[in-house]
Structures are given as C-alpha cells and as structure tokens.
Amino acid sequence: MFMIFWLVGLGILALLASIIYYNRFVTLENRIGNSLSQIDVQLRKRADLVPNLINSVKGYAKHEKGIMKEVTEARKAFMGAKTMEQKVEKGAELQHALKSILAIAENYPQLKANENFLHLQQELAAIEDKVAYARQHYNDSILGYNNLCKKFPGVMFASIYGKSAKKYLEIPQEARAVPKVEF
Amino acid sequence: MERISFDDQIQRNKIKSFLLIVIIFAFFIVLGYIVSMILDPSYFFIIMIFATIFSLVYVVAGYYKSDKIALASVKAKPASRTEHRMLYHAAEGMAISSGLPMPKLYVMESEEINAFASGRDPKHSVICFTTGALKKLDKQELEGVMAHEMSHIANYDIRFMTLTAVLIGMVSIIAQVFLRSLWFSGGRNREGKEQAILMVVGIVFAILAPIATQLISFAISRKREYAADASGVKFTRYPQGLANALKKIKNESVSSLDKEHRVSKAMAPLFISDPFKRKVRGLFSTHPPIDDRIRKLEVM
C-alpha cells in the first residue's frame, strides 16, 4: 500500500518535471526564432537603404561607377538569399561593399556635407550596431538553449523530446571589422 | 547558472510587488480602524467602508497609472523620433540586445544628467532621459545608461520601485494628516486608558512608518543599482560606456538641481543617480556611492 503512494507520487513529479522542461524548451526555441528574425529585419532595413544611398552618391561622385555597381550587386545577392545562413553571409558582403562607398565620400567634400547622405550614414551606422546586438542576442539565446540541452537533468528531457544543441551564428571573418564612420 | 538566478530575481520582485500591494491595502484598513477607534467607534463601519474603497482605488491607480504619475510629476514629454534620434537608436539597439519590447521614450527638462524607468511590466514600460543627459552623453554612454534602465525593466524592478514610490508618498501624506488631526481632536472624546493607548500607538505609527518604508526602499534600491549596472553590461558588452557616463555624472556641478524642476523625494530611487546629490552616505542614501559603481564596472 505504502509503495503505491510512493510510486504515484514519483509519477506525478516526473510528469510535472517533463511538462516544465517541455515548456522551457519551447520558450527558448521561440526566443531563438525571434532573435533570428530580428537579425533578418535589420539586414533587410540596411538593404532597403542602399538605393537611396546610391542615388545621393550618384549626384556627387559620377566616376565611381565600379564601386556603385559592386554595392548594387551585393544588394541583389542579399535579396536573392534564401536561408538565414546565406542572408548573413550576403549581408556581410553588402556591409563590406558599403564600407568602401562610405570611404570614397571622403574624397567628395560636397557629398560629405549633403544632409541626405549624412542622414543615411547615421542610419547605416545605427543599423550596423543593431545587427551586432541582434547577433549577440541570438547567440545568448543559443547559449541558454544549449545549456538546457546539455546540463542534467535537461539532457534527459532533451533526448526524450529529440532536442539537440544548436549552432552559434558564425560571423564571417571580414565582417568583424566594424566600418569606421566619423561624424 | 546565471540565467536561473536572474529568473529568481524576477520572481522575487513579482512576489515583493504583490506583498507591497497587500501592505498598502492592509495599511489603509488598519489606519481606518485606528482612526475610527480614536474618533468615535460608532462610525466604525462607515470609516472602514471608506478606507476599503479608498485603498482599492489607490492600489489600482498606483498599479496601472504609476508610470503616468511618475512622468507627470517630472513634467516629461514624449521624445520625438526626428529630434531625439540618438535616444531612439540607443533604445532600439538595447531592445534588440535584451530581447525586450521597445519602451516608450520620454524627455524631461533638466540640465543634470539623469534618467529613470517606470511602468508595471516590460510591455508597459517607459524610459525618461533628461535633456542634459542627451546633450552631454556620447553614443556609448547613452547606450550604457539605456542598458541600465532596460535591465531595471527586465528585472521587474520598475514595478516594485514605482509601487514603493507610491507607498512612500502615501505613508508620508497620511502620517502628516494623522499627526495634525491629533492636535485638534485630542482630548475631546471619551477619556480612558484604551484611548490613550490607541493614541500612543497612532503617534508612534505615524512617526515610524514613513521612516521605515524609506529605509527599506533605500536599501533595496541600492542593491538594485549594482544589479542593474551588471546586467546592463550584459546587454552592451561594453562596461566602459556606463562607467564613463557615471564619471560625467560625478563631475557635474552639485548645484545643478534647478528649482523649477524639482524632483519629488519619493521619485529619487527611480533615477540612475540620486537627483538630490546628497553627500551623506549610509542608511539614508538611495544610491550606492558612484565611485564604487565605477570601480565595479571597470574591473568587469
């Protein structure tokens, strides 16, 4: 008789634990999904600024066709990217191309003084920060999730629910250097 | 394990906030009881009904309108996206890195560098910066302060601290009323031991209550500032930003608190640095010594 009580008690405990852990997995997965979409939003915003930037640069620096073409193509490549990994990679390339277009502005004092251009420059710098923060939050979310997957007793429930540790977002090497934008 | 202790703190803050609401509620009931006993026991029920209704209204208003009350008391205006672009960039960046919803942004007129957060939960949160802070802080410093305020929001400090501000305000007002009414009504009613005891209890209560709530809230507030500094750095990954902002605050001229924009004492624990710039440290300070905070940030 006494044994039955114990077994029922243990059964209820195990059930409760499995519910709690299931919900934790779902919460953390949602957090990861959400932070990933934040990265996407910011990358897209940056790509949306490109035509504007090209237009304001065109008026002052007609001879820099090569660089402008490079940026336009990088944008096109980004827009065509399907998976998140591709988007991050193409986004980094676009970022690299933008860096050079902002650098040539140094040679054109009128362009540098243009209000529209200044505004775009600030926006791009802010977006760059936000991309970095979004990436940081994404990796933090992955860390929380992986900790849950690998620590005891989470590791038990992870194998029951078929969850496994996820990969961190790799930053392409060249994107690590933050573009220098002087105000 | 840090994650868990963070969640623990949030849970504790929610429980404390709930307890505080219960305390505020109970306070009015007890007060109503004491008042009715001293004045005239035959009014007991009427006074108790009034006390209950009043405390309910007070608690509900304090809970749902606390951010509006706080903003109105410092005459803050909503920040504009074009005029305060830096502020919006900082807030958006920190909202992304903390995973919190974007708070509503406000600006208050004041030359000194300061900021506070308020609201009842992350979805209903506000952050207010002084115009002085927007003028004097650079981007990294602004982000550091923003991250500090955001972590107050993430930790549910805002709910507890705003409720505490409401409680302190209330206790001091009532204690004043109570003490004054005793001067006038004293001695006219029934004589006797019972009344004398009640009066003594009433007076002691009226004197001690504000002091006690003040001390509690200050002690809590000091611990919270360190915690918010630390978790703010988790959002920016750049302790130097906040450290530099605190240095600028420290080096400001002490007399910069202008008369026309006086901050209520009850609001002081909400700010990132003590708006009264009190020199005295110890039990009565709302904020830990700024040098100590800078030191802790610099070794992170």
pLDDT over 70 at B134, yes or no = yes
Q: How far does the CA of residue A136 sit from the closest CA of chain B (Å)? A: 6
For residues A61 and B111, which has the higher predicted lDDT (pLDDT)? B111
Q: Do B97 and A136 touch (CB under 8 A)?
A: yes
Statement: residue B244 has pLDDT above 90: yes
Per-residue CA distances from B117 to A1, A73, A91, B70 (Å): 58, 44, 35, 9
Distance of CA B167 to the CA centre of its chain: 9
Cβ within 8 Å, pair B99-A34:
yes
Minimum-distance CB partner of B237 among A126, A134, A136: A136
SS3 content of chain A, % helix, strand, coil (to 5): 80, 0, 20
Three-class secondary structure of residue A172 per DSSP = coil
User: Residue A152 contacts by C-beta under 8 Å, 6 or more apart in sequence?
Assistant: none
CB contact under 8 A, A42 and B97: no
pLDDT digits (tens, 9 = 90+) for A95-133: 888 888 888 888 888 888 888 888 888 888 889 889 889
The residue ranking higher by pLDDT, B173 or B65, is: B65
Q: Tell me the C-alpha distance between B157 and B12, whole Å.
A: 10
B99–A136 CB contact, under 8 Å: no
Report residue A121 as tokens: 């420059």
Catalytically active residues of B, by annotation:
149
CB distance A126–B237 less than 8 Å? no
Task: State the smallest CA–CA distance between residue B35 and chain A in angstroms.
Answer: 49
Q: Give me the residues paired with residue B125 across strands.
A: B119
Q: What is the model's pLDDT at position B87? A: 94
Tell me the pLDDT tens digit for each residue of B194-218: 666 667 766 776 777 767 666 666 6
User: Which residues of chain A, if any, have pLDDT below 50?
Assistant: none
Residue of A20, A40, A129, A183 best to disrupt the B interface, most CBs of B under 10 A: A129
Phi, psi of B78, deg, nearest 5: -60, 140
CB contact under 8 A, B96 and A122: no
Residue-wise pLDDT for B135-194, tens only, equals 999 999 999 999 999 999 998 888 888 777 777 766 666 666 666 666 555 555 555 666
Residue A130 is nearest to which of B85, B93, B99, comparing CB atoms? B93
B9, A156, A137, B122: CA torsion to nearest 10: -40
**pLDDT at residue B256, rounded to an integer:** 47
Nearest Cα neighbor of B171 from B144, B196, B208, B137 is: B208
- Tokens standing for residue B225: 């500032």
CA distance B13 to B48: 30
Report yes or no: A147 at the B interface, CB cutoff 8 Å: yes
A129 touching chain B per CB within 8 A: yes
Q: What are the CB-based long-range contacts (under 8 Å, 24+) for B37-40?
A: B37/B195, B37/B198, B38/B182, B38/B185, B38/B189, B38/B195, B38/B198, B38/B199, B38/B202, B39/B185, B39/B189, B40/B189
Residue A35: closest C-alpha in chain B: B99
Q: Which residues of A touch B231 (CB under 8 A)?
A: none
Please state the ipTM of this predicted complex: 0.76
Q: B291: part of which helix (H) or strand (E)? A: helix B290-298
Residues in chain A: 183
β-bridge pairing B115-121 and B77-78 = unpaired
pLDDT at site B260: 44
Which residues make Cβ contacts (< 8 Å) with residue A172, sequence separation at least 6? Answer: A88, A89, A92, A93
User: Cβ B96–A42 below 8 Å, yes or no?
Assistant: yes
Determine what percent of chain B is predicted with pLDDT higher than 90.
21
Query: Nearest to residue B208, comparing CAs of B258, B174, B236?
Result: B174
Coil, helix or strand at residue B283: coil
Beta-carbon count within 10 A of B252 CB: 17
Those residues of chain B whose CB sits closer than 8 Å to some CB in chain A are 3, 85, 89, 92-94, 96-99, 235, 237
pLDDT surpassing 50 at residue B115: yes
Question: Which pair of tokens denotes residue B290?
Answer: 């700024």
What are the Cα distances from residue A59, in Å, to A53, A64, A71, A113, B81?
Answer: 10, 11, 16, 13, 28
Sort out which chain A residues have CB atoms less than 8 A from B93's CB and list them. Answer: 126, 129-130, 133
- Please say if the pLDDT value at position B4 is more than 50: no
Phi/psi of residue B111, nearest 5 degrees: -75, -25
Distance CA B128, CA A8 (A): 54
Nearest-CA distance A125 → chain B (Å): 10
Nearest chain B CA: its distance from A29 CA (Å): 13
Cβ distance A137 to B92 less than 8 Å, yes or no, reads: no
